Structure 1
Amino acid sequence: MLIRNGLRTTRAELLPLSFYERFEYVVVVILTALIAVVVVAAVWNLTLKILVGLVLSGSLDPSDYTAFQDVFGMIFTVIIALEFKKSLLVVAARRDTVVAIRSVVVIALLAICRKVIILDLTETDALHILALAAAILALGIVYWLVSDRDRRPVKDSQG
């Protein structure tokens, strides 16, 4: 019964939309479902890796830096996918017509942070590290500018 009511509500919301807006909605719903499948698979894989590594074989030493990099790299992958799914859900709920810039910047920052965590500093040259630092700085500035713009009070056109 709840599913039927949900489908009626969704249909009523989609009727006034244009063909392209309906198409966009369907694509977003499909992408959201696919990302949910990826998140479940990633969490399952992470769980198995940790449980098998720690409990059964004892080969996963949490104090080992490479094990730390692997585990937290996989955790960041799940967090990135969840943030991406959340930004798509905002579009699907029709609260925004496009993915918000702030969400894209947050996803990019998370991806670069993941890269920094899994980076092997003995194999990486200084120019690569400098480029990552510049990207983090640039994305941080963009995030601050977008957030600052959202916090400013809206000026009245009469005053």
Structure 2
Amino acid sequence: MSRWTRGYHRISHYWRDNNFVHLTEQIQIVIAKILSILMIIIILVALWDLMIYLAQILFTEPVGFLTNTLFKIFGLFLNILISMEILENITAYMKKHTVQVELVIVTSLVAVARKIIIFDLEKYSDFALLGLAVAIFALSISYWIVRTLNSDPRG
């Protein structure tokens, strides 16, 4: 059998539907693992940045510094929490091989809540705040619908 024929048979083997689906699933798993590792690195770097920032603030700012920097500290904390939620989404995908819609909605709620917590009324218009309120409302309704559909009717 010639080299071309063997190559053709090898390639045609992977193009069969079952084999191709299996190959794409394996690629998705590798990508999810790489994303998990990168997200862990991001979380650790963000945590380090938060610790450095807090140390600098504690040792250099005068008494009453929290009034000026509290929203920035909250934003940094929530960034780490959102990153952890994204990591949880990735690991849930690796476990069940499906996107967990409930987790995605909760992550989105945390992200929009972060935006509201650090919202600067002097910097943005009232319409921006209204847009965030509509987003929270829509995500809350979505979460309620998904939660109701996923709940066990037996209680």
Please tell me the TM-score bracket, short chain as reference: 0.7 to 0.9
Output the TM-score relative to the length of structure 1: 0.78
In the alignment, residue 71 of structure 2 is paired with which amino acid? Q
Query: Deviation at 1:122?
Result: 2.1
What are the equivalent positions in structure 2 for 1:19-38 lying under 5 Å apart?
19-38=23-42
Question: Which residue type is aligned with residue 103 of structure 1?
Answer: L
Tell me what 1:146 maps to: 146
How far the C-alpha of 1:133 sits from its partner, in A, is 0.4
C-alpha deviations, 1:45-77, integer Å up to 9, x for none? Answer: 0001001111x212584531x411100001000
Distance 1:67 1:131, change over 3 A: same
The Cα of 1:124 is off from its aligned counterpart by 2.1
Let me know the Cα RMSD of the aligned residues.
1.7
Structure with the largest fraction of helix: 2
Amino acid in structure 2 at the alignment position of 1:63: L
1:60–1:67 Cα contact (<8 Å) kept: no
- Structure 1's consecutive aligned runs of 4 or more residues displaced over 4 angstroms after TM superposition are 59-62
Q: Is the 8 A contact 1:105 1:143 kept in 2?
A: yes
How many aligned positions are there? 134
Paired position in structure 1 for 2:61: 58
**Greater Cα radius of gyration, structure 1 or 2:** 2
Q: Structure 1: any 5+ residue segments left out of the alignment?
A: 1-16, 155-159
Identical-residue share of aligned pairs (%): 27
Distance 1:119 1:91 in 2: 32
